[in-house]
Amino acid sequence: MKLNGVATRSLWFEEDGRSIGIFDQRRLPWAVEKIRISTAEQARNAIAEMATRGAPLIGAAGACGLAMALTDDSSDISLDSAWELLVNARPTAVNLRWALERVRTLVAPLPPSERAVTAWKEARDICDEDAAMNHAIGVAGLELIRKIAERKNGNPVNILTHCNAGWLATIDWGTATAPIYMAHDAGIPVHVWVDETRPRNQGALTAFELGGHGVPNSYIADNAGGLFMQQGQVDMVIVGTDRVTANGDVCNKIGTCLKALAAKAADIPFYVALPSSTYDVQTPDGAAVPIEERTQDEVRFLTGPDENGVMRRIALTTSPARNPAFDITPADLVTAYITDKGVLNGPRELHEALSA
């Protein structure tokens, strides 16, 4: 995708062959700043502190972090300790464990002298595969948007999304946003309702992305979507996901389940976009997913620049707070899953297509 008119990915490999670059998403959308990561510890911190975020992207960053560790020390002890360090950076998104396990399984049987080169190649392959899967998601989801557009007589297709499931959360294209970008590029009128997604306000990243691509969008409070659905101002909901369990339950950013319930009540289709790497056949249902609880200060404080561009932190309350980062949307609230294997209707189709 493009940033300020320049084609880029959200993660890139530096010329030294042993480090990567990412955008510091804690600074977006106010400032575009880059971070260079050269060690497993730095990769772990970037993931845990949300300098980089999004299930597919943290999986790729974790794979690169493991390759960095093996570049410095390719022993069994280094491999195991780096894997443990990285896999615990964030517990909910399955892509992180998936990518780390993929690299570890590949390099563990090799002589130590071959491990680093092999790990770096696998990390690059993971990145390229993610971009390809997201492109395929876009192609599949485009047809859903096109069908609605045919009924709209030239009026925009109004799409609501929650959190950031765009190219900043993946290697390229995004999951929920890929069909939107392709529809816009195909000349189909679209408009996106972008949930703010408190408390980390990842919706601001989605609005930043969409605006940069020229896609009409409106940034709305998290609780506004239900009203717009009741008023007929939403044609479809598309969200990403950090993990889909074997029975089709969807773990995504906190607030997703409420949007699914509102969509069900308003008879609006609710779609979940995911690459194959986000399907977790090992976890039976949403109740078995570990839900990350982050610091209460993310809820109790707001951080951002004032009118002079000075970053400030504002207290909202002194009350204790709870801050679960994810919730579970039951499979029976999902209209269909938009995947790199096509649009899949229900948990059985999902399992048959993605569990191989």
- Amino acid at residue number 112: P
Residue 334: CB atoms within 10 Å: 26
Q: Does residue 250 contact residue 328 with C-beta atoms inside 8 Å?
A: yes
Q: Does residue 294 contact residue 325 with C-beta atoms inside 8 Å?
A: yes
Rounded to an integer, what distance in angstroms lies between the CA atom of residue 174 and that of residue 251?
17
Domain spans of the chain?
Answer: 2-129, 142-354
Per-residue pLDDT 10s for the chain (356 aa) are 777 777 889 999 999 999 999 999 999 999 999 999 999 999 999 999 999 999 999 999 999 999 999 999 999 999 999 999 999 999 898 999 999 999 999 999 999 999 999 999 999 999 999 999 999 999 999 999 999 999 999 999 999 999 999 999 999 999 999 999 999 999 999 999 999 999 999 999 999 999 999 999 999 999 999 999 999 999 999 999 999 999 999 999 999 999 999 999 999 999 999 999 999 999 999 999 999 999 999 999 998 888 888 889 999 999 999 999 999 999 999 999 999 999 999 999 999 999 87
Q: Which residues contact 325 (CB under 8 A, 6 or more apart)?
A: 92, 253, 254, 291, 292, 293, 294
Q: In sequence order, what E strands does 293-346 have?
A: 301-305, 311-315, 326-329, 336-339, 342-344
What is residue 96's predicted lDDT score, i.e. its pLDDT? 97
Rounded to an integer, what distance in angstroms lies between the CA atom of residue 161 and that of residue 77?
43
Q: Which helix (H) or strand (E) holds 294?
A: none
- The domain 2-129: what is its CATH number? 1.20.120.420
Looking at 242, 249, 280, 327, which residue is catalytic?
242
What is residue 41's predicted lDDT score, i.e. its pLDDT? 97
Locate 347 and state its tokens.
């948990």
Fold (topology level) of 142-354 = Rossmann fold (3.40.50)
Query: Quick check: is 242 catalytic?
Result: yes
Which is nearest to 339 in space by CA: 274, 280, 242? 274
Residue 144: CB atoms within 10 Å: 21
